[in-house]
């Protein structure tokens, strides 16, 4: 019976299951369950090009001569849906079980995107229902008794006290060379114009002043020589962000989200896990207040009315997507590293951002999906195909850039640590993929060191690779130990910091303990062999089996 093919592929419904007769090319190649949508859930989640054999054949027939050969060498572009609902992925199962999303109330002037069932929205909605002549504004009426004055305050210092415009521009240029290629949530051209135009009156825009200060601080961090006022500039930027948590400094906007993202990066680079995690949580909460997790596009969905109120242009919409993509990536990565849970905004339907020239922001989206899907895949078993497929997704990421390879290895180690936590070893398939990911990252660290790209993963990836290799006790992972130890030694010598020296000493301690365990096992095996028969040299080439006569001939055709 000939194979049936689905000619129309409606989006999957949470209420109805349907049989799929044709899987897309990527799902067939990866042996994954395809839901037959366009794009399917797997391709939508991980940014693969979703094509079906029938479509590919038709395109090949209609293509001009020579187009087929060129298309085979063209890198696959991720499919980004611009219409309809986002296709559900394994990480969205919990969201799919939630009730339908409530309408949004939008107030761009006050930076608010709230659900219509909010207490803040009720007077506004009642006024609309009663058709009052002067509609009630979106305001927190009767929020408290008002018995104490609201705190007001400003930051006493000014950024111009610590930096000239030229110095600030130089530090910002370092930031866009070092940080922007992966965390591309800011637009360099727009940022540079705003910096020049508002430098004289920067303090009148507190949120943007904090962004400028922290961009300059990160630029100083990644410079060959730190700026002498780096700590003062840092305190200035953090003071603005801290004040905004207890006083209405300014309306919450994208600058506020960007400020907390920059703070998260700097804290992760310089201080303890809990502090960077808290900064990431605040960034996510601000992103939710801004409604960045909801893709407000007027395409007839539940958010159509809110989209009309927001009236986002394409550039602003992409900026919102980039900010949320980076916020979610940092929060998922940092909470996974630290071993805690993070905020999870309900009814998230934000699409992946468009590719940014000279940057790799799409990699953040893929890694985020992998880490989010890890919990569900692990529940099926660490030895399951679902869990092994997560390593395949990481391995499929293009590792041309050393920073991309480094953060991909960071995510890979997040998955490998589950094996150590359960006292189990990874399968040979997982070991092969993980070894390739880790080796690529380790090979790129030397170049990052030379370029002063001192990311936190430069120390943690070699150290964690040693711990994972010793725990798994697999030859392929153990083969990474010499390279990893050499990198730890190089960083301890170069930076002479407490963290680098501590990592090197701890890694030495772990390897020494592992070696002692191995030697103890070898000693027991040697003791057992002491009771074996003496070895006798046998000339196998001239050895003659004397059976005491000829064997009878058996006719097997009888």
- CATH number for the domain that contains residue 445: 1.25.40
Instruction: Report d(CA 511, CA 526) in Å as an integer.
Output: 22
Q: Is the pLDDT of residue 311 over 80?
A: no
| 361 vs 130, residue with greater confidence | 361
In the numeric block, which tokens belong to residue 487?
Answer: 């990198």
Q: Does residue 249 form part of some domain?
A: yes
CA gap 255, 202 in Å, rounded: 13
* 429 and 389 assigned to the same domain: yes
Q: What is the pLDDT of residue 4?
A: 45
114 φ/ψ angles, rounded to the nearest 5 degrees: -120, 160
Residue 360 has, within 13 A of its CA and on its CB side, a CA count of 21
Question: What's the chain's Rg over C-alpha atoms?
Answer: 29
Look up tokens 């090009």; give the residue.
49
Closest C-alpha among 66, 68, 42, 46 to residue 56: 68
SS3 call for 107: strand
Show the domain range for 322: 163-303+310-332
Mark whether 167 and 137 lie in a shared domain.
Answer: no
Q: Report the distance separating Cα 397 and Cα 409, nearest Å.
A: 11
Q: Once rounded to an integer, what is the mean pLDDT over residues 98-111?
A: 55
Q: Which of 16-25, 152-161, 182-191, 315-324 has the lowest mean pLDDT?
A: 16-25
Spatial distance between the Cα atoms of 114 and 266, rounded to a whole number of angstroms: 30
Tell me whether residue 157 is in a domain.
Answer: no
pTM of the entire predicted model: 0.77
- Rounded distance between C-alpha atoms, residue 54 and residue 61, angstroms: 11
> How many distinct structural domains can be found in the chain?
3
What is the distance between the alpha carbons of residues 49 and 71, in angstroms, rounded to a whole number? Answer: 13
Note whether 290 and 182 are same-domain residues.
yes
pLDDT tens string 405-451: 999 999 999 999 999 999 999 999 999 999 999 999 999 999 999 99
**What pLDDT is recorded for position 540?**
60
Instruction: Say whether both 251 and 397 belong to one domain.
Output: no
pLDDT > 70? residue 395: yes
| Residue 534 maps to a domain | no
Mean pLDDT confidence for 104-110: 59
The answer to whether 331 and 279 have CB atoms below 8 angstroms apart is no
Q: Which long-range contacts (CB under 8 A, 24 or more apart) does 423-428 make?
A: 424/382, 424/383, 425/472, 425/473, 425/474, 426/382, 426/472, 426/474, 427/383, 427/388
pLDDT digits (tens, 9 = 90+) for 285-301: 999 988 899 886 654 55
Nearest to 450 by CA among 494, 417, 509, 408: 494
Same domain, 176 and 298: yes
Assess if residue 72 is contained within a domain: no
**Which of 206-215, 218-227, 292-301 has the least mean pLDDT?**
292-301
Q: Does residue 344 belong to any structural domain of this protein?
A: no
| Structural contact between residues 199 and 150, judged by C-beta atoms closer than 8 angstroms | no
Q: What is the pLDDT of residue 404?
A: 97
**Between 305 and 541, residue with greater pLDDT:** 541
Is residue 116, in this structure, part of any structural domain at all?
Answer: yes
Buried b (16+ CB within 10 A) or exposed e, 168-177: bbbbbebbbe
Q: How far apart are CA 48 and CA 41, in angstroms?
A: 10
Do 229 and 287 belong to one domain? yes
Segment 363-385 shows an average pLDDT of 94
318 and 190 fall within a common domain: yes
Whether residues 364 and 511 share a domain: the answer is yes
* Highest mean pLDDT (candidates 34-38, 148-152, 538-542): 148-152
What count of Cα atoms within 13 Å lies in the side-chain half-sphere of residue 5?
7
* CA atoms of 518 and 515, how far apart (whole Å): 5
Q: Which of 32-36, 91-95, 247-251, 473-477 has the lowest mean pLDDT?
A: 91-95
Q: Are residues 167 and 121 in the same domain?
A: no
In a domain, 77, yes or no: no
- The answer to whether residues 322 and 415 belong to one domain is no
User: What pLDDT was estimated at residue 558?
Assistant: 55
Q: What is the mean pLDDT of residues 86-115?
A: 52
**Among 158-162, 231-235, 314-318, which stretch is predicted with the lowest mean pLDDT?**
314-318
Task: Say if CB 413 and CB 337 are below 8 A apart.
Answer: no
Per the domain annotation, does 149 fall within a domain? no
> Do 278 and 422 fall within a single domain?
no
pLDDT at 44: 67
DSSP state of 496: -
Same domain, 168 and 137: no
Least confident of 146-155, 246-255, 514-523: 514-523
């Amino acid at each position: 019976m000939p194979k049936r093919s689905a000619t129309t592929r409606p989006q999957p419904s949470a209420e109805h299951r349907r049989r799929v007769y044709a899987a897309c090319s990527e799902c067939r190649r990866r042996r994954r369950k395809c839901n037959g949508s366009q794009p399917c859930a797997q391709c939508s989640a991980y940014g693969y090009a979703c094509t079906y054999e029938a479509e590919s054949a038709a395109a090949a027939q209609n293509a001009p001569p020579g187009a087929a050969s060129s298309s085979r060498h063209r890198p696959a572009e991720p499919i980004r849906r611009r219409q309809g609902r986002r296709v559900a992925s394994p990480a969205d199962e919990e969201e799919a079980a939630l009730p339908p999303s409530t309408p949004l109330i939008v107030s761009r002037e006050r930076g608010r995107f709230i659900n219509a069932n909010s207490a803040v929205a009720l007077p506004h909605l009642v006024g609309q229902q009663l058709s009052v002549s002067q509609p009630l504004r979106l305001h927190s009426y009767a929020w408290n008794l008002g018995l104490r004055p609201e705190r007001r305050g400003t930051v006493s210092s000014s950024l111009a006290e610590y930096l000239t415009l030229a110095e600030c521009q130089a530090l910002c240029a370092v930031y866009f060379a070092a940080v922007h290629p992966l965390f591309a949530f800011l637009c360099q051209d727009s940022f540079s114009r705003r910096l020049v135009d508002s430098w004289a009156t920067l303090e009148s825009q507190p949120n943007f002043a904090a962004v400028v200060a922290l961009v300059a601080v990160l630029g100083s961090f990644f410079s060959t020589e730190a700026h002498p006022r780096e700590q003062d500039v840092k305190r200035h930027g953090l003071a603005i962000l801290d004040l905004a948590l207890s006083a209405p400094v300014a309306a919450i906007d994208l600058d506020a989200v960007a400020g907390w993202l920059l703070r998260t990066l700097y804290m992760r680079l310089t201080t303890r896990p809990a502090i960077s995690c808290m900064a990431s949580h605040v960034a996510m909460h601000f992103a939710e207040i801004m409604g960045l997790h909801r893709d407000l596009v007027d395409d007839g969905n539940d958010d159509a009315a809110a989209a009309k109120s927001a009236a986002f242009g394409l550039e602003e919409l992409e900026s919102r997507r980039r900010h949320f993509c980076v916020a979610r990536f940092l929060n998922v990565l940092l909470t996974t590293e630290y071993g805690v849970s993070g905020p999870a905004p309900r009814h998230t339907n934000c699409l992946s951002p468009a590719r940014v020239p000279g940057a790799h922001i799409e990699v953040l989206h893929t890694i985020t999906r992998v880490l989010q899907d890890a919990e569900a895949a692990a529940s099926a078993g660490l030895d399951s195909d679902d869990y092994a497929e997560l390593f395949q997704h990481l391995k499929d990421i293009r590792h041309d850039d050393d920073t991309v390879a480094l953060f991909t290895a960071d995510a890979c180690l997040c998955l490998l640590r589950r094996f150590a936590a359960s006292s189990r070893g990874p399968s040979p398939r997982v070991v092969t993929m993980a070894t390739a990911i880790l080796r690529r990252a380790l090979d790129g660290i030397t170049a990052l060191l030379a370029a002063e790209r001192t990311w936190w993963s430069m120390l943690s990836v070699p150290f964690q690779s040693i711990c994972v290799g010793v725990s798994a006790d697999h030859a392929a992972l153990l083969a990474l130990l010499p390279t990893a130890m050499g990198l730890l030694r190089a960083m301890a010598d170069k930076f002479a910091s407490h963290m680098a020296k501590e990592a090197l000493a701890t890694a030495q301690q772990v390897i020494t303990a592992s070696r002692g365990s191995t030697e103890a096992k070898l000693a027991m095996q040697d003791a057992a062999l002491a009771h074996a028969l003496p070895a006798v040299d046998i000339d196998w080439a001239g050895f003659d089996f004397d059976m005491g006569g000829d064997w009878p001939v058996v006719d097997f055709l009888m």
